[in-house]
A = this chain, B = another copy of it.
Amino acid sequence: MPLGLPDDPGPARLDRARIARAALDLLRTDGADAFSMRRLAAALQIKSPSLYWHVRSKDELFDLLVDDVLGTVPLPDGDDGPWDERLRDLGLALRRVLLAHPDVARLMPGRTPFGPNGLALAERVIGVLRRAGFDDRLAGYGYLLLMFYVVGFAAQETAFGKGPDNPERLTEISRFLGGLPADRYPNVVAAAGTLTGRPGLTDRFELGLTGILNGLDRDRASSR
């Protein structure tokens, strides 16, 4: 026992929260392609089979990561303000959170976001809609439409190199599109610059979100 470190606790004890945190770090620093249970174990200074005491599988771990990230979305807690404004704010907040975790965002399509935090989010969204006069059916669909739009948008956005990370992917795509033969793809070439421009996408996201909420409103009106 080395002197001067009388109470060195060694690496902290393993639990699901610590595993999730390390997994998020590993995804963020090394990317999804480099992620593996063995590397995650190494980052935690542990052997990989130990992970399976705390987590059933890699897939379940990914579900956990998604739910952890969803847990950081601020939910409106009162019940004041028009329903569409509240859902618009929630959509914007969800996108911001997903852009901050691009790899987790890309994990989401293909998954069903019904961990504790995902359920809390669903409960809130469906509640807002029902209290605004949507019947159960339309409220359920409204939730799905909102989630599909926001998650789908954010997941693809990060793939284009938008989002905070790798701007070099952006310029690579931009060069490719801009270098296309202009006689064959005149329209793509003309728009190549903006296909890979960053700031305008947030406006377009909001535009689509507003359009969807307007559509829901018309849906509600025609149902009564």
Contact = CB atoms under 8 A, between A and B. Distances in A.
Interface of A: 106, 108-112, 114, 119, 122-124, 126-127, 130, 136-137, 139-141, 143-145, 147-149, 151-153, 155-160, 173, 176-177, 180, 184-188, 190-195, 197, 200-201, 204-205, 207-208, 210-216, 218-219
A212 B136 CA distance: 24
A77 to B, nearest CB: 15
Nearest to A208: B212
Contacts of A122: 185, 187-188
A215 B219 contact: no
Copies in the complex: 2
Given A109-B156, A110-B155, A127-B187, A141 B173 contact: no
Given A127-B187, A141-B201, A144-B201, 12 more contacts: A114-B176, A122-B187, A122-B188, A123-B187, A136-B194, A137-B200, A139-B191, A144-B160, A152-B155, A152-B156, A211-B213, A211-B216
A109 to B, nearest CB: 4
A143 B215 contact: no
A88 to B, nearest CB: 12
Contact of A214 (B143, B153, B200, B211): B211
Nearest to A108: B156
B188 A126 contact: yes
A212 B215 CA distance: 9
A29 B123 CA distance: 36
A112 to B, nearest CB: 6
B143 A195 contact: yes
Contacts of A140: 191-195, 197
Contacts of A215: 207-208, 210-211, 214
A141 B160 CA distance: 13
